[in-house]
Amino acid sequence: MKKYLVIGNPIDHSLSPLIHNYWMKKHGLKDSVYEKRKVEEQDLEDIVNQVRNDEIAGVNVTLPFKKRIIPFLDSLDDTVTHSKTVNTLLNTGSKTVLGLNTDGMGFERSFTMKPSIEYNGKNIFIIGAGGVTSSILFSFILNANKIYITNRTKKKAEQLRDEYIGITPGEKKIEVIDWGENPKICDLIINTTSVGLKNNEKLGLDFNKYENNKNVLFYDLIYNPKETNFLRDARLRGNKTMNGEMMFLNQALVSFERWTGISPQIDNEVIKLLDND
């Protein structure tokens, strides 16, 4: 039996097993199973060893271990360079465990789903400056017109911007703005913070200046709950909205591809699995 895991703490809420087991069944991988496991920090080394010894075929890592798993890994791929967080473990042979991060790719692919979203030449406003922000920031550097970042702790946003100093064209494109301020013009506003994971949590930011502007898309990376206050307020204000479902499904898809070599489909059935939860 090939065993795959998603590890985290808490882990009950994870919908990854539903998705991966669906794809495994669909592609006839009868000897594969994907489970969730709640672990403690002291378990991380043992989990990595089990991947190294082929006792576990692949692992997804979620909060709060995306950074803490790194010291136990043998190598990291380019997707970890910016985010400095890992969400996927893979045995690449010769007892080598590789860490990668499929969030950035999942995010980019979410823009290509129907209806696709164009961000070339657009002004983007990112709320939050945690690990997931670094993964997605890289997607915009080449093609966006301007990227604004705000974070409750401003220093973290500044550090993120400073990582692009000397990297053209990133340096000129990123502007940090104060928490509570809004850029004059923007087309896409992305919540990357954890605010909204718990029902009724509010960012406390005022977006009223974008009222009834259908050209502004509010994108929350959170997929559970489906509609955070950030999205609900945007909908009531008359803006366009999108939640994190497509990013979630696409990051899972990239992990699945890396483990099995099979590219699964994001079909209606797999989307419905998220609805049934």
Contact residues: ligand ATR, CB under 6 A: 85, 128-132, 151-153, 156, 193-195
Whose CB is nearest to ligand ATR?
130
Residue number, 56 or 221, with CB nearest to ligand ATR: 221
Least separation, in Å, of the C-beta of 210 and ligand ATR?
A: 19
Give CA–CA dist 192/236, Å, rounded.
Answer: 21
Under DSSP, is residue 135 helix (H, G, I), strand (E, B) or coil?
A: helix
Under DSSP, is residue 246 helix (H, G, I), strand (E, B) or coil?
A: helix
Least separation, in Å, of the C-beta of 172 and ligand ATR?
A: 23
Structure tokens, 139:
């997607």
Helices (H), the chain: 16-26, 44-52, 79-83, 103-110, 131-141, 154-162, 170-173, 229-237, 245-260, 268-275
Residue number, 128 or 244, with CB nearest to ligand ATR: 128
Least separation, in Å, of the C-beta of 107 and ligand ATR?
A: 12
Sort 213 into a burial class: Cβ within 10 Å, 0-12 / 13-18 / 19+.
middle
Residue number, 142 or 197, with CB nearest to ligand ATR: 197
Cα distance between the two ends of the chain: 27
Least separation, in Å, of the C-beta of 156 and ligand ATR?
A: 5
User: Beta strands 88-91 and 97-100: pairing type?
Assistant: antiparallel
Q: Is 38 a catalytic residue?
A: no
DSSP-derived secondary structure letter, 261? S
Give CA–CA dist 225/18, Å, rounded.
Answer: 17
Residue number, 170 or 244, with CB nearest to ligand ATR: 244
Least separation, in Å, of the C-beta of 186 and ligand ATR?
A: 18
Q: Are 106 and 247 in contact (CB under 8 A)?
A: yes
Catalytic-role residue among 3, 36, 38, 66: 66
Quickly list DSSP for 95-131.
Answer: T-EEEE--HHHHHHHHTTSSSP---TT-EEEEE--SH
Q: Which residues are catalytic?
A: 66
